[in-house]
Each structure stands twice: as structure tokens, then as C-alpha cells.
Structure 1
Amino acid sequence: MSITGLVSVVIPAYNVGPHIAEAIDSVLAQDYPQVEIIVVDDGSKDDTAEVVAARYPQATLIRKENGGAATARNAGIRAARGEFVAFLDADDIWLPGKLTAQIDYFRAHPDVAMNCTGFSQWVSDERGVFPDPSTVIPDQTAIPVDAIDQEFSGWIYHKLLLRNFVWTTTVVMRRSLIDKIGLYDEHFRLGQDYEYFLRASRETEIHRLSRAYALYRQHPGSATARGRDYNYAADVIGRARAKWGLASPNGEAISKQEIRERLHKIHFMCGYLFLKRGKAAKALDEFRSAVREKPLHLKSWAYVAVSALADLRARFGKTQTIKI
């Protein structure tokens, strides 16, 4: 049984010792009165857990072996007692008024089970120093607190297939929605949030508040900045297309051409990145997938040839020379 009005804030954390305090402080600075903080240390090798334990006795600290963000968020959800569950990445921060605005919106719209907000980029200078948060927040005085982005609100499943405009750090969900859709899919090391929100968008309208209520910290150590060896976005979209098709529950839909364009672009860009990193075999798989989505795209065929040749050269280079 969840506690009425309580917001459980789930913070998965991995090697974020330099940033975790700012994230937690931004939650404690909220003016919403009913909050529990759950930090899940996902096997950090730095002092992340120690910082939390020493400085934030009011937070629930869960320590676990490294398993990825999905496993960490699931551990936090299992421990959550709130009527609402909010997510915050440990290297980002919330801005003042975020929770009050989102919970007030829920109370005014009882049929909406998930909402999110706008956000601003938070980029360091050449020395790695991040500017004062107040200097990167846009002027929002003209935007009503309860205003929503109409383009990104409503039954948005079909729109999410073309663009993931829901950012995890801004999301608050009713616990009742989580009980319907279940936990994060731990198959995904990256992209698990995208898959989760697509699942949610089959059960409820999702509304995005227009104001920016969080800062997204961009730095080399973030999960999205680290190199990856698998095309998660294409997998997520492909699974959704196969299971639910291209239409939202209210009947609004995108075309087959639009989804093919989307998947072609993802495969092509992923293939290009693999090729640039010297992973010719993986690049070849991606360019072949790009061709399947858009057979008449000559540039994709050209890169199939380039990556195939690079793959052959790589294999030949590893083969011992046989003297005849």
C-alpha cells in the first residue's frame, strides 16, 4: 500500500561521487513537503556510496552489484513507498518548484498517470567546470506553471516512435501506472528508459510541462557519452513496432514510411560510428539494416561496400600467412 501524497525519488548512481551531492541537494531544496529519497548505488568503484551515507542519513541507500541503470531503478522502485515515483539521474539536478508543479498537475488531471517537464543543457567549459545553474536557466516568467507542450502531450506513443522527447530526470509517474506496466526491462543496458516510456504511453496520456525544471549535465562520463557496442534505439523501436504497431491507443498514427526513415537514420548513424571506431563487422550489420529499411538509398549501399571491405581487411590482417 503506497503512502498518499508521498513522492519516492529513485536515484540510480554509478561512479558519480563528484556530482551525487548536488543531485540530492536539489531534491532537498524542493518545496514539496512529502519526499523520500532512495539512492541505489550500482556497484560504484568510487566514493559515491560513502558520500551518500555520510552526508544524507535521511536518504535510503541501497548497495548492489553493478547491473546497469535498469536494475538500479528497479531496486529503487521496489523500495519506494510513495503514491508517486520520480526519477533523477545522479549527475543531473532538479530546479526549484519541480515536484510541486508536477504533483499539482496530477491533482488537476486525475486521468493522467505520467508527466514530465522541459529541461536545459548544462555543459562544462574547457576546464571541465560547470557554470552556476542559475546562469543556464532560460527566462520562464511568461510561461504559466501549468502550461504544457501540446505537441508532446496526450497519447504520444506514435510520436515517441519518431523521437524520444521524454527525459528520465523529469519524469514523475503514479504508482498505479507502474503497477500496470511493471518494472524496467533489464535486457537493456542503454535505452531502458525509452522502452519503459513507450510501454507507459500505451496505458496513459503523458503530458509534458512547458517549463524547464531540470538541468541535464553533459560530460564524458555519462552513460550516453560512453562508447557502446549495440544499437539499443533500433531494438527498442523495432520491438515496439512489432508488438503495438504504429498507432497510439486513440487511433493517431505515423506512416510506415516515417518509421522506416527513422530506423534507417538510426542504423546508418550507428553504422557510421562503428566504422569510425574500427568495428567494421558491427558497422556492416548496421548498414545492411539501413538498406533493408530504405533499399533505394545509394549512400547506404556504398557504406555496405566500404564496411564489408574493411571487415575483410580486418579479418585478413588477423589471419596467419600460409606459405605454399
Structure 2
Amino acid sequence: MTLRNQHTFVVPAYRQSPHLRDCLASLRGQTFPSPIVISTSTPFPGLEALAMEYGAGLAIHSPNVGIGHDWNHALSQAQTDWATIAHQDDIYLPTFAEKTLAAVSKHPDARLVMTGYGELVGGQVRSLTPMLFIKHLLLELGFLGRSSIAATKAKRRLLRFGCAIPCPSVTLRLSSEPLRFREDLKLNLDWDAWLRLAGREGEFVWIRETLMLHRIHTGSETSNGIRAGVRSREDLMMFRALWARPIAHLLARIYALSYERESKQ
């Protein structure tokens, strides 16, 4: 099997996002083309035509029970060793797949490959915010100048102070012990999954270059979850799994204050 058919973009589509077309266009515009599969439990008129326009497969499933179920179903549609869960509101720069697969080739023991990312707010790219700075710092502390880490302690250290791994940029190995996301979580299902993956053999690989743009907007599930307090509750749950109770509560409070500050910008 060549690198060209080792990777799939799976797109869990939820309702009728006005940004889905731009996401699909960015996936179709890759310098190293990969198959695209749209997976949804909330189809809408015109979705089939949109999939055909961009040469994407379409898998409709039910019931609509949450993001974890949607992600797990989307990954099950990939017939390749590697898959990226492409978020429907986000933009993937032209060399995302090419450079991700180059990293896969260079690190045959990799289980997870992530890239650098920026934020897209109202059509403007933000490359540095307080939260982006914190996450980048956590990544640097985890990788210590390296491009990959394999030791369980190092991978867990990367995740002890928060989820520094940018989920929309992650490409996962599916060929052995496929990862399943918890379906009872609404926002921190990625952090939980990476923490479980850290306990398995294999490398986490970080491509520092910015290769995708994560869209920030008020209608996103993340924004809704922060306003509803879901993020803070799930943050506390994760920190309590990693730290003694007083430290866990302190870290969760620091993050909650950061969310409040970001929402006012």
C-alpha cells in the first residue's frame, strides 16, 4: 500500500454548517490527495450534491446521540491505516496531508500525528492568543525540543496541565487497536482519548508548522459548551484523574477564568 491510499479525511457533519463547503474545498485542494468521507446523523437537503461536488463519500447513520458517537462512526468509515477527523468548520492548508504522511513515513511507530494550528475568527487569522500561547508552551514542555515522544510518562506529562493536543489537527493510526471516543462526554472526549492512548505503545508526533486553521465562532459546540459550563465540569473531571483534589480544583479554576477572558475579546 502506498502513502497515497494510507490516509482518509473523515468529516463528521452536524446539521447544516455554513462552513462545510469551505472545509471540503480545503480537503479537495490538498497537494497530496486523500479520500474524503462525510459522516452524519443530521442530513440536510443538498448534502448529497455537496458531497458529489467535492468527490466525497457520504455515510448517514442514526441515532443522533452526541459528538462521541459521531466521531466513532466517522472513523469506522475509513478504509485506510490513518484518518484525520476533519472538523466541518475548519480549514486545512494545502500541504496538511502531504506533511502529515511524511511524518508517518519518518516515524513508523507513531500512533498520533498532530500539526500546528492557528485560529480563524471572522475571516481573520489569529496566530497568538493567551490560550494558544499556553497550549504551545505545554507542547514544548512535553516534547522538549523533539519531534516525537514515545515514553508513557512523557506522553502523560504532555496532558497533565490541560489538553494541549489540537484535536482538529490530529491524524490517528487505525490499523491496530483502534481508538474509540467516550460517548458520555461532550467536550473533553479528545483529552480523555489522548490520555488513554498515551498508555499504549507508540509515538506521539508533533509537526510544529501551522497546517490548519480552527474556526472560532459563537455557534460552535465548544463555544456553546463553555457558556453552559460543560467545559469547566469536564476539565475538573480530567484534572482530578491526574492530580490530587486541591491541585485539580486550582487548575480547573485557572482554565475557567481563561475561558471568561477569551469570551470577552
| Alignment TM class, shorter chain as reference | 0.7 to 0.9
Contact conserved, 1:29 with 1:96, CA < 8 A, in 2?
A: yes
Give 1:118 deviation, angstroms. 0.6
CA distance in structure 2 between the partners assigned to 1:206 and 1:48 by the alignment = 38
Q: Does 1:194 align with 2:191?
A: yes
| One of 73, 76, 79 as aligned partner of 2:74 | 76
CA distance in 1, matches of 2:257, 2:212: 32
Structure 2 residue aligned with 1:28: 28
CA distance in 1, matches of 2:127, 2:78: 30
TM-score, structure 2 as length reference: 0.77
- The answer to whether the 8 Å contact 1:70/1:188 transfers is yes
**Residue identity opposite 2:96 in structure 1:** K
**Percentage of pairs with the same residue:** 20
CA–CA distance in structure 2, aligned partners of residues 183 and 173 of structure 1: 11
For residues 146-170 of structure 1, give each alpha carbon's deviation from its aligned partner in whole angstroms, at most 9, with x where no partner exists: xxx6534323212212021111111
User: CA, structure 1 residues 229+66, in 2 after alignment: closer, same or farther (shift >3 Å)?
Assistant: farther
For the Cα contact (< 8 Å) 1:16–1:48, is it kept in 2?
no
Task: Select which of 116, 119, 130 maps to 2:117.
Answer: 119
Does the 8 Å CA contact 1:152/1:207 hold for their aligned counterparts? no
Mapped partners of 1:181, 1:229: distance in 2:
31
Q: Does structure 1 residue 263 correspond to structure 2 residue 244?
A: no
CA shift, 1:115, in A, is 1.0
Larger Rg: 1
Q: Is the 8 A contact 1:83 1:174 kept in 2?
A: yes
Write the letter of the residue equivalent to 1:7: H
What are the within-5 Å matches in structure 2 for residues 144-183 of structure 1?
150-153=140-143, 154=149, 155-176=154-175, 179-180=176-177, 182-183=179-180
TM-score, structure 1 length as denominator?
Answer: 0.64
1:109 Cα deviation (Å)?
A: 1.3
Counterpart CA distance in 1 for 2:208 and 2:252 is 27
- Cα 1:271–1:107 change in 2 (3 A) is closer
* Inter-partner Cα distance in structure 2 for 1:175 and 1:78: 9
CA contact (8 A) 2:103 2:205 kept: no
Residue 236 of structure 1, aligned match among 215, 235, 238: 238
Judge conservation of contact 2:236–2:249 (CA < 8 Å) in 1: yes
Alpha carbons of structure 1 residues 268 and 172: separation in structure 2 relative to 1, 3 Å? closer
How far 1:57 sits from its partner (Å)?
A: 4.6
Deviations 1:155-214 (A, max 9, x none): 3212212021111111111113xx425311111122111111111122233121110000
Q: Paired residue for 1:17?
A: 17
Aligned counterpart, 1:109: 107
> CA–CA distance in 2 between the matches of 1:114 and 1:269?
25
Cα displacement string for residues 195-243 of structure 1 (whole angstroms, at most 9, x for unaligned residues): 111111222331211100000111001111103354112223334x3xx
Distance 1:224 1:218 in 2: 9
Instruction: List alignment gaps of at least 5 residues for structure 1.
Output: 125-129, 139-148, 242-255, 275-324
Tell me the number of residue pairs that the alignment of Structure 1 and Structure 2 aligns: 235
Secondary structure in structure 1 of the residue aligned to 2:228:
coil
Structure 2 stretches lacking a partner, 5+ long: 129-138, 144-148, 261-265
Q: Distance in 1 between matches of 2:46 and 2:196?
A: 31
Q: Which has the higher contact order (CA 8 A, sep 6+)?
A: 2
- CA 1:52–1:168 in 2, change beyond 3 Å: closer, same or farther? farther
What's the counterpart of residue 214 of structure 1?
A: 212
